[in-house]
Amino acid sequence: MSISCLSPAICRQARLSRDPRFDGRFFVGVHSTGIYCRPVCPAVSASERNVQYFASAAAAAAAGLRPCLRCRPESAPGSSAWRGTRTTLERAMRLIEQGALNGDTSQAVEQLAQRLGISSRWLRKLFNDALGTSPLQYAIYCRLLFAKQLLHETSMPVTQIALACGFNSIRRFNEVFQQRLQLPPTAIRHRSSTETSQTHITLFLSYRPPYAWQQLRHFLQWRSVAEMEWFEHQGQQGYGRTLRVRQLQQQLRGWFFAVDEPKQHRFRVEVALVAEDSLALLPMWLQCLRQILDLDAEPAVIHGRLSALQHWLPELQLQPGLRLPGCGSVAEAGIRAILGQQVSVKQATNLLRQLLQQTGEKLLINGRHCVFFPEPTALTDELCATLPMPQSRQQTLLRLARYLQTADTPMPPDERPLADWLTLKGIGPWTVAYAAMRGLSAPDILLSGDLVVRKQLLQLLPDPVAKIEVALQQIAEMAAPWGSYLTLNLWQQAAADDTCNDNRRSNIEA
């Protein structure tokens, strides 16, 4: 099976140099030992004649290899280079990683294919061509690797780990674990020394360097609301927030606090969960956390693409390692965008603070007073009327809330086409694009409707351009598929040039 965009020579050089930029982009199978590793594995490098390269951990497992206990492939950053933009395969993988195939049946595959709008045969072909395995096998292996991580890093009861990873019985969990990973769960549990409870755990989440942590933290802090977000915990600096995910009638609420460990290229993440909620949603909850911190980005690939723009825009400054600051949901991103229409960042944050004070669910979780971003059902006519903003914008907020509650499609809000929002009065391209960038982590959003982005690009163009819209389209095409990261770099450069201040308006929508 081929490794997209990576030749065997590149893979060989990356593994021999243990280059962290390639961590998670491919895996190294060593047939002489029967194991597979991350390219950064500290073990002695195997002879090339015994090595085979795989695009995913699941593909390596399908070849009969077991995961290395030293470098722990389950802790590698997620792979995104070959996923590109929001393709059908990427959507399928995201849903599977969140538990869509926990039923382990052909019927579950049929339901997933229907959800994606394709046939189950085509879905199987997509997985076989890209990963060398079937959707069901990929789902099982994702769950096993997640279980392996929990066994390594926590002392959650094994029964709770089995539940969190989508297994209905401990017997089935032990059987599949032994069969696929070729060792019993207890062999890993004996190695774990972390003392935690099932609702208060610490995990380590890796990323590819560089990671512009201070810039991301500053972006989030400037838009934060107390008790939903915080930046200090037990004397440590980091980023924490509350997070809720839902699936059908189940929900999982909790908070996390992430501390950067740059030498290890990872975050140490403390997690506290509501004990009464569904632990089966933990994979979805953690996937949302990864999206908020943009842990699966490939900064070297992104920088390589955007740097080509500097031939046309020689004054463009690129900050290596900028990450997309995510939101807890696309609904949150949309509400934030509407509150930010035609006002400064500070004014929008004040409106958000008032909204949370009146509607946010308040809980005490592991000793911390928390507030959760409100559900769309909490946005009533009476509430919106109290927000100090134009009545037209209050009505726009209500329209979006009602759409998110009553859309004809059974698809969750995060899977519905955001273009449908444009049918709602008061919502234009900027709002939709902002919600896609922050709520879905869409990588290719050049916010040309943003005043700061537009101003920066006009200043950076070497010669006056009569047809600015044509120039913006050309820039967007040159930046693709990483337009969102160009947007972040333009915001960053504007702040550094002091052309961006608290009184600026965020967009040009009416």
**14-23 pLDDT per residue, tens:** 999 999 989 9
Confidence class of residue 38 from pLDDT cuts 50, 70 and 90? very high
Whether the pLDDT of residue 203 is over 70: the answer is: yes
Q: What integer best gives the mean pLDDT of the chain?
A: 88
Confidence class of residue 85 from pLDDT cuts 50, 70 and 90? very low
Cα 349 to Cα 235: distance, rounded to the nearest angstrom: 26
Pick the range with the lowest mean pLDDT from 151-165, 180-194, 346-360, 416-430. Answer: 180-194
Residues 6+ away with beta carbon under 8 Å from 463: none
Report pLDDT for 414. 61
Q: Please give the domain boundaries of the chain with CATH numbers for all domains.
A: 1-73 (3.40.10.10), 83-198 (1.10.10.60)
Whether the pLDDT of residue 193 is over 80: the answer is: no
Report pLDDT for 415. 64
Cα 351 to Cα 354: distance, rounded to the nearest angstrom: 5
Determine the average pLDDT of the residues in 406-430: 77
Report pLDDT for 187. 84
Report pLDDT for 1. 40
Please give the single-letter amino acid code of residue 460. L
- Kindly report the pTM of this predicted structure: 0.87
DSSP classification of residue 79: P
How many other C-beta atoms can be found within 10 angstroms of the C-beta atom of residue 157?
13
Cα 371 to Cα 241: distance, rounded to the nearest angstrom: 9
Determine the average pLDDT of the residues in 133-150: 92
Pick the range with the lowest mean pLDDT from 49-63, 71-85, 200-214, 285-299. Answer: 71-85
The CA-based dihedral angle spanning residues 213, 219, 223, 226, taken in that order and rounded to the nearest 10 degrees: 20
Pick the range with the lowest mean pLDDT from 126-135, 328-337, 424-433. Answer: 126-135
Whether the pLDDT of residue 261 is over 50: the answer is: yes
Whether the pLDDT of residue 496 is over 70: the answer is: yes
Report pLDDT for 346. 93
| Distance (Å) of CA 343 to CA 114, 205, 337, 491 | 41, 36, 10, 16
Report pLDDT for 467. 75
Point out which residues pair with 200 in neighbouring strands: 197, 272
Report pLDDT for 503. 47
Determine the average pLDDT of the residues in 274-289: 94
Whether the pLDDT of residue 198 is over 90: the answer is: no
Return the closest-CA partner of residue 409 out of 399, 398, 418: 418
Return the closest-CA partner of residue 254 out of 360, 336, 412, 364: 364
Whether the pLDDT of residue 508 is over 60: the answer is: no
Confidence class of residue 83 from pLDDT cuts 50, 70 and 90? very low
Whether the pLDDT of residue 81 is over 50: the answer is: no
Q: Quick one: what percent of the chain has pLDDT higher than 90? A: 66
Report pLDDT for 82. 39
Report pLDDT for 411. 56
**pLDDT per residue as tens digits for the range 471-491:** 889 999 999 999 999 999 999
Report pLDDT for 55. 85
Determine the average pLDDT of the residues in 249-278: 96
Cα 426 to Cα 339: distance, rounded to the nearest angstrom: 12
